[in-house]
Structure 1
Amino acid sequence: MDGHGGASAEGIPLDALDFFEELAAENTRTWWQAQRARWEESVREPMEWLTEALTDEFGAAHLYRPQRDVRFSHDKSPYKDHQGALAATVPGVGWYVQVSATGLMTGGGFHPTGPDQTARYRAAVDAPATGQALEAVVHRLVGQGWETGGEAVRTRPRGVPADHPRLDLMRHKHLVVSRQHGAPDWLATDAVLDHVRADWRAVRPLVEWMTEHVGASQTPHRR
């Protein structure tokens, strides 16, 4: 990638990818402070433009802080290697978009803010009607090229039989889908908005299922 392209009025500049590639080589506060204006112009402002343009359809998105929480991590690198944003229906459930050194990623699903969300998720997967509905949604998304992810147990949750018809879904503590776009020609143009909107619309049935059957945590983790 050549030089520092800076932010265009619309689109995500390739310099955003360069920024995170260089950050990986020197993840220090000194480097960050020297590059802060560049981060504002090439990363934060384009991501704000993108998410604000999607607000009418998907609701307001929260841009995550660039700083990492290193209190309980062996990795003391102060800054995240990506910039993400979540348009949430309830805390922990919603649509996601991210830019990093590898390019653009879109996604959606749920990441629990409290243990009761995982319990409700598994109960809904266990129930035939709701479980089969989720299975159909996930199967359709995988067929469209989406990848499933999220923390899962290796074997099966306690009390779940080995022959459960939806064991793969039952294993999950949280469930997300994602699509990696890399750095296509449209990334730095206003067409990125159309692509992210189309992806989020594709994920809408998953987000709606999670919103209805998982919902907000009533016992959130302490922060």
Structure 2
Amino acid sequence: MTTVQQDPTLAWFERLEAEGNTKAFWQTGREAYARDVREPFAAFLAAVDGQPGVPAHGAWRVYRPHNDLRFDPQGDPLKTFVGAVAETARGAGLYVQVDRTGLLVAAGMPWFAPDQLGRWREAVASGAGEALVDAAERARAGRLRVHGGRRDPYVRVPRGYAADHPRAGLLRWRGVEASVRLGSAAWGADGASTEERAAVAAEPLRAAGALVAWCEEEVGTSTLPRPRR
């Protein structure tokens, strides 16, 4: 009888949640984190960049494993995932994440700065909005969920736009993102290579390519200072 060995990355996060998200867990598990999480994730990101059709972007920024507890002293000390974000030259973002449930992939502009929000609304209300709808449909055809980013939409259509506008729902959005949870099989399939994982992740990034290009063209990079905590 063949025994299927659990993927080390997924296993590390399962242990984190099962044994308690504590500083003590990190002290005993940090070497395993470097070996089983950080190193394979870095290799995966490099392999994603080598896949054809992935939107061009800058360097990946990998989130540190520790949570910032200055604003939440009672929170968990460690993140229950490893994630990385990269930005295109014109302000769109790509995101990949692995946790105990597997792989997640996303692309878009998950939260608009005030100047981006104004350009988004103008474009959505104009003829360019039809191209946005087409780009969203292409993303959905690639199994991605297209939604209003990481914040809830506004309750009402913004002032100055007709409440019965055909794209009234989009006018209420505060960001735009296409995302998909690919699950544990996409990352932890028995014997899956780094290249195979990267190929799976590249599919939704390609499917979101038209949406990314639309955001770059119609919304663009914010010129406002980034907010500080």
Q: Same fold (TM over 0.5)?
A: yes
Distance 1:66 1:93, change over 3 A: farther
1:132 alignment counterpart: 130
Pairing of 1:133-212 with structure 2 (within 5 A): 133-149=131-147, 150=149, 151-153=151-153, 155-159=155-159, 160-184=161-185, 185=189, 188-189=192-193, 190-212=195-217
Structure 1 residue 30 corresponds to structure 2 residue 24: yes
Q: Give the aligned residue type for 1:41.
A: R
1:121 alignment counterpart: 120
Structure 1 residue 65 corresponds to structure 2 residue 68: no
Compute the displacement of 1:204 (Å).
1.2
1:42 alignment counterpart: 36
Q: Is the 8 A contact 2:4 2:190 kept in 1?
A: no
How many residue pairs get matched? 213
Distance 1:187 1:171, change over 3 A: farther
TM-score for the superposition, normalised by structure 2? 0.81
Compute the displacement of 1:92 (Å).
5.7
Distance 1:176 1:41, change over 3 A: same
Q: Give the aligned residue type for 2:198.
A: L
Gaps of 5+ in 1: 6-13
Distance 1:20 1:119 in 2: 40
Compute the displacement of 1:49 (Å).
0.8
Distance 1:187 1:143, change over 3 A: farther
Q: Is the 8 A contact 1:52 1:61 kept in 2?
A: no
Note the alpha carbon deviations across 1:46-67, whole angstroms, 9 max, x for none.
Answer: 1111112233553432212222
Distance 1:213 1:55, change over 3 A: same
Distance 1:193 1:30, change over 3 A: same
Distance 1:112 1:100 in 2: 23
Identity %: 34
Gaps of 5+ in 2: none
1:197 aligned counterpart, secondary structure: helix
2:208 aligned counterpart, secondary structure: helix
